[in-house]
Structure 1
Amino acid sequence: MQDSDGLTIDQLLTLEAYADTIIPGEKRGPADRAIAGASTGGGAVASGAVELMLSPEGGLAGTLDSLAEGLNEHAREYTTRSGFEPEPDVPPFVALDFTDRIALAQQLLAPGHPEQELWVALAMFSAMAWDTGAHLHTSDALAAGHPGLTSMGFLPPEPDGVWRFPRFSYGRALAAIHPRTTSRGDPH
């Protein structure tokens, strides 16, 4: 069965499980297998990692089915090497315990792994979704309670919709403003 984005349910669950391995969150319910529940609050999945992966602007959308199948193939091999009993009703990557998901992700992301670039790209989309809500307008993400932005304490814009930062994030100015900087902050 395919969802509205052209991915099968197993592929979608696999991508969610990978995103949750990169930035864990809490389960959506007791039957949730994709999210391991290794953390409280919303992780990459609740932050929209799969939505970002599917965005045409990101360039991964056309490869997600293959990436999900690749993750499951690596999980099958991992399960065989580890002597685990496979679960036939669950995608292989989703069936792994969280610690085994981490171990497999570490292998795939390790320098020298022949497919490292693929898995790093997929991991980066998980991080971008949580760190920035890159698939959303920042004001909308904050208004909706985006888990990553709110967890980091990202402040909403002022009532007029403009972000002003009355205090320095490091507690001090790191550099003087260039003398030709305009009132809007543009270099001249």
Structure 2
Amino acid sequence: MINSAVKPFAVKGYRQGQFVDVSEADISGKWAVFFFYPADFTFVCPTELGDLADHYAELQSRGVEVYSVSTDTHFTHKAWHESSETIGKIDYTMLGDPTGTLTRNFGVMREAEGLAERASFIIDPQGIVQAMEITAEGIGRDAAELLRRVKAAQYVASNPGEVCPAKWKEGEATLAPSFDLVGKI
């Protein structure tokens, strides 16, 4: 998936009290995060989505749009948003993918169950996957780490010839790979 283009899609979503149509055209020219999760009205999922909601303003300030995705419908997302305090604080778009097309496009469909894996993808403005994370059912993700990876991806994209080492944080030193660095790190 890394360095591959997002495949065409068209789905319905729920955002800030409205139903919306979203396609690959909506992410063109922008950074985006696709945050797949198994199902609404579950256990680990709301903790992750709430954590992501807490980091959404900073992601937006960096020009990143966030799309959570499950194989539930946009109607189910609306009901969950209205019934859960944690989910009610979400301002990003919650995409419904009942046919599984978008989930399959990203290669994270659990076919036997019809549910998405717990997976995150960072997409650059050209629609290319720059980072991904997939965890087992019971392992929740950390939005702060996702934000760190977004910052690293944006830094590398803006600074050709530089790379971000392990645990890199914004403002810290980067590396400029060269023959002289071989064996010296």
> Rg bigger for which structure?
1
TM-score (norm 1): 0.29
TM-score (norm 2): 0.29
Looking at secondary structure, tell me which structure has more strand per residue. Answer: 2
Larger RCO of the pair (alpha carbons < 8 Å, separation 6+): 2
Looking at secondary structure, tell me which structure has more helix per residue. Answer: 1
